[in-house]
């Protein structure tokens, strides 16, 4: 049985690049195909690209035949099979090693009705033959730049169902030289993406259609290439003529091409080395070419070298293995008790606790030393203590600052509290008082100088830090310090065909009205994130610091924690919006920060992944248009939820696209207050 390219990918070691060879297709025929396969195997290629049909198959256009030709009528009726002369791939031999290509003379959008119809019928006949052979992959040619894609998109969308087990790659040049002639340098390359995007939208974002992106000597800007990182780029095609020759005579890529290829390597694509010359397949065993013939391809070796010499994955990349572009539900620590392995995962983050320790140390140093005989003890309350990492941070900070502290560790999770009891018995001793209680209802025996919490979520406030700290604020002194002091939420319009397709597999509205924590990989931001709202602690404006007023406050609502914002972005290049990316920045104390915002990300920190808010119907955004993100954080007596809307407008035109408001009233997703 033929092995699929997905199986090949999973069977190969992670460090192995899969590289194919594509000679000029016009030189490949049924007679030399097996010799070509043997040549490619000798040269170390993992697969070879070959036309499915011989040039003679063009006969099915019946360009000079009478409209009532009996032969044409028979073929149209599907009653005429391939002849051997029609085919290059005549048998299933080496079907697990060959990627087929569809004939490029087919034109489903031709103004000629007969050419249009016969191109459609030929494509379906070729797809049926590919399915019969069990080919692992098939490559679709890039239609002429001057032709529309509408009918081609319809035909292709319908025909893809013929290939249930075959990977389909649409070959796209990164620069369409014909369409780019009058385009500014900054936008060059977008026309190719536009044509792919048009075809993909017709086929549907959840189709099996992938991209074989062909790199050229001139490359688009990083901003344009960034659009491709959100697309299903399965193959990078490298023509031999984009390679340079180094002083030792070996092919190499320019630094710019190396940079681009290395970025794509992270997405684990296949590579194809395309050649403008056909190799010598038959050699005299005594010829000078015989020795060279037995060597591996220097172009393939170079690509493997780039793959092998990738930067060593950083802490975040190592941690993210298995999580990248994987949809996860945000934690609900008030509603659910976290499991031990969840705590353990978070506790492995050295940066977060390093910053917390620094913040507590600086806060301790800033506390005035008593001069009137009062006890020189600073009271630190760690609320939501989990298994105790912030307690350890506080004790280490006190030792560094040379201050005496009395620490309270407050935790409501009965399972985590078992660990805390063990820590007190075996490590902390009398330095720490442990309390099994919800911080919002605990009656503290004394006031705290410093309140330390670890309640932040990927969106800043989505794990109910504001609500929790409102309740804990009652046992903070009037001049007390909260760590964190504030946190700001950031949003940005984003494209990700992968994430949108994953949400679409659920086939309901509820999953499009749910936010997901995701370690982003195959995404593209259409603009840099902007802040949308902020929370500060202690909240002296809405929550009284006077203990006597708390009996009244506890009967009040949560509306002071409602937030809303409408943020406008300009997209310099065209793109698709598949949702909204969310991030946060937090000031722990003065200049000590934590951030997952890309521009200010805390190096090496992995405790939080960004958050993804999907939209059901992706929006097309023209170049230089404005994207408006409307967000609401809303609440009632039992829950908190988010609502969101995305719209696009153009100067002088007004709004051109918009989504409905998602998750109205928290109907699909919310965060429980109890």
Does 31 count as an annotated binding residue? no
> Phi and psi at residue 158, in whole multiples of 5°?
-70, -35
- Is the CB of residue 586 less than 8 Å from the CB of residue 595? yes
- Is the CB of residue 585 less than 8 Å from the CB of residue 599? no
User: How far apart are the C-alpha atoms of 481 and 365, rounded to whole Å?
Assistant: 12
| Structure tokens, 180 | 């780019």
Whether 344 is a known active-site residue: answer: no
Does 186 count as an annotated binding residue? no
- Which of 231, 454, 513, 643 is catalytic? The answer is 454
Q: Which of 590, 576, 482, 479 has its CA nearest to residue 190?
A: 576
Q: Which of 223, 305, 247 has its CA nearest to residue 19?
A: 305
- Is the CB of residue 202 less than 8 Å from the CB of residue 160? no
User: How far apart are the C-alpha atoms of 609 and 345, rounded to whole Å?
Assistant: 13
- Is the CB of residue 147 less than 8 Å from the CB of residue 141? no
Does 139 count as an annotated binding residue? no
Q: How many helices (H) and strands (E) does the chain have?
A: 18, 27
* DSSP letter, residue 372: S
- Which of 463, 467, 513, 585 is catalytic? The answer is 463
Does 438 count as an annotated binding residue? yes
- Residue 533, Cα to own-chain centre: how many angstroms? 25
- Is the CB of residue 594 less than 8 Å from the CB of residue 588? yes
- Give the Å distances, CA to CA, from 1 to 45, 89, 133: 21, 17, 10
Give, for 194, the enclosing helix (H) or strand (E). Answer: helix 190-203
* DSSP letter, residue 2: P
Does 467 count as an annotated binding residue? no
| Structure tokens, 630 | 């409307």
Give, for 125, the enclosing helix (H) or strand (E). Answer: helix 113-133
Q: Which of 592, 354, 560 has its CA nearest to residue 484?
A: 592
Whether 463 is a known active-site residue: answer: yes
Does 572 count as an annotated binding residue? no
User: How far apart are the C-alpha atoms of 671 and 674, rounded to whole Å?
Assistant: 9
Which residues are documented as binding site? 343, 352-353, 411, 438-439
Active site members:
454, 463
Which residues are documented as binding site for S-adenosyl-L-methionine? 343, 352-353, 411, 438-439
């Amino acid at each position: 049985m033929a092995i699929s390219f997905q199986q090949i990918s999973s069977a190969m070691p992670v460090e192995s690049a899969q590289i194919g060879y594509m000679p000029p297709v016009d030189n490949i025929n049924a007679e030399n195909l097996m010799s070509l396969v043997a040549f490619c195997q000798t040269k170390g290629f993992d697969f070879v690209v070959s036309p499915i049909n011989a040039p003679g198959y063009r006969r099915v256009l019946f360009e000079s035949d009478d409209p009532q030709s009996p032969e044409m009528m028979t073929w149209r009726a599907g009653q005429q099979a391939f002849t051997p002369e029609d085919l290059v791939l005549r048998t299933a031999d080496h079907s697990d090693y060959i990627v087929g290509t569809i004939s490029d003379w087919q034109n489903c959008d031709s103004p000629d009705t007969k050419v249009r119809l016969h191109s459609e019928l030929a494509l379906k006949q070729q797809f049926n033959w590919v399915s019969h052979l069990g080919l692992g992959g098939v490559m679709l040619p890039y239609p002429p730049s001057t032709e529309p894609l509408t009918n081609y998109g319809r035909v292709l969308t319908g025909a893809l169902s013929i290939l249930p087990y075959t990977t389909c790659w649409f070959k796209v040049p990164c620069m369409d030289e014909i369409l780019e002639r009058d385009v500014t340098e900054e936008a060059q390359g977008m026309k190719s993406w536009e044509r792919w995007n048009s075809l993909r939208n017709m086929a549907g974002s959840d189709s099996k259609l992938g991209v074989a992106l062909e790199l050229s000597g001139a490359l688009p800007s990083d901003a344009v290439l960034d659009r491709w990182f959100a697309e299903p780029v399965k193959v990078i095609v490298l023509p031999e003529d984009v390679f340079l020759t180094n002083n030792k005579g070996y092919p190499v890529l320019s630094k710019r091409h190396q940079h681009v290829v290395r970025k794509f390597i992270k997405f684990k694509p296949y590579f194809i080395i395309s050649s403008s010359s056909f190799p010598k397949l038959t050699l005299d065993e005594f010829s000078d070419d015989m020795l060279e013939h037995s060597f591996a391809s220097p172009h393939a070796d170079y690509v493997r070298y780039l793959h092998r010499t990738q930067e060593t994955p950083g802490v975040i990349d190592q941690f993210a293995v298995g999580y990248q572009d994987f949809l996860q539900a945000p934690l609900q620590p008030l509603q659910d008790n976290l499991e031990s392995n969840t705590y353990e995962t978070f506790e492995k983050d050295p940066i977060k606790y390093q910053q917390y320790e620094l913040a507590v140390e600086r806060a301790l140093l800033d506390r005035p030393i008593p001069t009137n005989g009062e006890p020189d003890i600073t009271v630190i309350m760690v609320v939501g203590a989990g298994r105790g990492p912030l307690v350890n941070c506080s004790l280490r900070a006190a030792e560094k600052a040379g201050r005496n502290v009395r620490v309270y560790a407050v935790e409501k999770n009965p399972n985590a509290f078992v660990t805390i009891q063990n820590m007190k018995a075996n490590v902390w001793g009398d330095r720490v008082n442990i309390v099994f209680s919800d911080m919002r209802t605990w009656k503290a025996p004394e006031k705290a100088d410093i309140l330390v919490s670890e309640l932040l979520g990927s969106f800043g406030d989505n794990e109910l830090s504001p609500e929790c700290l409102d309740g804990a604020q009652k046992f903070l002194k009037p001049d007390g310090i909260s760590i964190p002091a504030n946190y700001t939420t950031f949003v940005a319009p984003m494209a990700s065909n992968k994430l949108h397709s994953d949400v679409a597999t659920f086939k309901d509205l509820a999953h499009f009205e749910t936010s997901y924590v995701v370690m982003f990989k195959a995404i593209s931001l259409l603009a840099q994130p902007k802040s949308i709202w902020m929370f500060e602690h202690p909240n002296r404006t809405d929550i009284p610091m006077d203990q006597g007023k708390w009996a009244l406050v506890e009967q009040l609502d949560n509306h002071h924690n409602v937030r809303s914002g409408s943020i406008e972005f300009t997209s310099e290049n065209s793109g698709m919006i598949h949702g909204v990316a969310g991030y946060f920045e937090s000031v722990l104390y003065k200049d000590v920060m934590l951030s997952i915002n890309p521009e200010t990300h805390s190096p090496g920190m992995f405790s939080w992944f960004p958050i993804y808010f999907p939209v059901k119907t992706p929006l097309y955004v023209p170049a230089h248009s404005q994207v408006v993100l409307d967000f609401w954080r809303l609440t009632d007596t039992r829950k908190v939820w988010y609502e969101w809307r995305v719209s696009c407008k153009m100067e002088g035109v007004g709004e051109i696209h918009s989504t409905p408001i998602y998750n109205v009233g928290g109907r699909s997703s919310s965060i429980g207050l109890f």
